[in-house]
Structure 1
Amino acid sequence: MKINSNNIEIKICSSVFQVMKKYIQLGAGSLEAGGILIGKENISDDNIIIRYITEPYASDKRRYNKFIRKDKRHIDIFNEVFNSSNEIYCYIGEWHTHDEDLPDYSRLDLKNWKKIMKESPGNIEHFHIIVGSKAIRIWKFGKLLKNPDLIKTIYWKDVVDFDKKTDW
């Protein structure tokens, strides 16, 4: 799926949507899930491709209203993709679920995004995705932004099979 925002095109592969869809929270018994977004930036036009994501693992902290990425496998998978791609694929941001139809970020989410921003070199902006039961929402956040910038709401019914239309 292609998303256009402020002259930047973000492409999200269908395999990424498929993983996220597995973890949609539906009710009080469901737990938040999340992981790392891995992709690449086309230097010539600033376009972003989100190609891979990590999934929740055994050591992650999962609650109804909280996901804390603790399992080292997230970093191991990131390093494997980063190294095997000759450092082309990089950290794009984080994703997680909320038990909401149309999710919004929480104070804890904002605190985590600010921590990521502080630990990032330079003025890099990251993308953060929150998955709800009816839609996913994408925010951009970095040192040059005072607040997270909601760049897109994508309803699940509108998700198309991007991989079949693209030559990778």
Structure 2
Amino acid sequence: MRHVSDWTLDDGSVMLNFSDEVRRVFENNVQLGDSPESGGILLGTVHEPGLLVTVATTPSRLDRQFRYLFERLPFGHRAVAKRLWRASNGTTRYIGEWHTHPQDIPTPSGIDLDEWRKLARMRADKLPLLAVIVGREALHVELAHGNGHRDLLRPY
């Protein structure tokens, strides 16, 4: 798999791991040719001092997919999150969002940044939102805070 599994902040204060299953979802949705953007939510467990991302939902038939836009509608994704929350007695939780870009090395758009800030502000647990963009050759991984602050994670 081309996408790295382990990520950290520069100061090592946060460690992040994507399970092999999540990395497979990323690989299977890389935008090649004229394929549309894909995306979903990220679910996993929170540990001190890190995150283990174990599930990445994939687009549902209700989501809107275009070459340069992915609009995730909550219905199918929310049901998966609730089911896993209950099955894990509350340990598997919503961690963040992922989507693709048709770029080798992806960078967030202004729309991405605005959406991430909005979603981070809405989090009941007040934790930052994990935001991932899947590119053809690399990932963009950051923690987005509700106040607009952003922490870029780097491969570990």
Same fold (TM over 0.5): yes
For 2:55 and 2:93, the matched residues in 1 are separated by 10
Q: Secondary structure of 1:72's match?
A: helix
Q: Secondary structure of 1:58's match?
A: coil
Residue 127 and residue 71 in structure 1: after superposition, are their counterparts in 2 closer, same or farther (change >3 A)?
closer
1:100-126 C-alpha deviation (Å, 9 max, x unpaired): 000000011111111102212364111
For 1:76 and 1:123, the matched residues in 2 are separated by 21
1:51 equivalent to 2:58? Answer no
Contact 1:16/1:52, CA 8 A, preserved across alignment: yes
**Farther-moved stretch of structure 1 (58-67 vs 71-80):** 71-80
Could you tell me which amino acid in structure 1 is paired with residue 119 of structure 2?
Answer: I
Residue 89 and residue 97 in structure 1: after superposition, are their counterparts in 2 closer, same or farther (change >3 A)?
same
Aligned to 1:4: 8
Q: How many positions carry a matched residue from both structures?
A: 150
For 2:120 and 2:8, the matched residues in 1 are separated by 23
For 1:113 and 1:32, the matched residues in 2 are separated by 17
User: What percent of counterpart residues are identical?
Assistant: 27
TM-score for both structures, normalised by structure 2: 0.89
Structure 2: give runs of 5+ residues left out of the alignment.
none
Aligned to 1:37: 42
Structure with more relative contact order (C-alpha pairs < 8 Å, separation 6 or more): 2
1:85 equivalent to 2:88? Answer yes
Structure 1: give runs of 5+ residues left out of the alignment.
155-168
TM-score for both structures, normalised by structure 1: 0.83
For 1:71 and 1:4, the matched residues in 2 are separated by 29
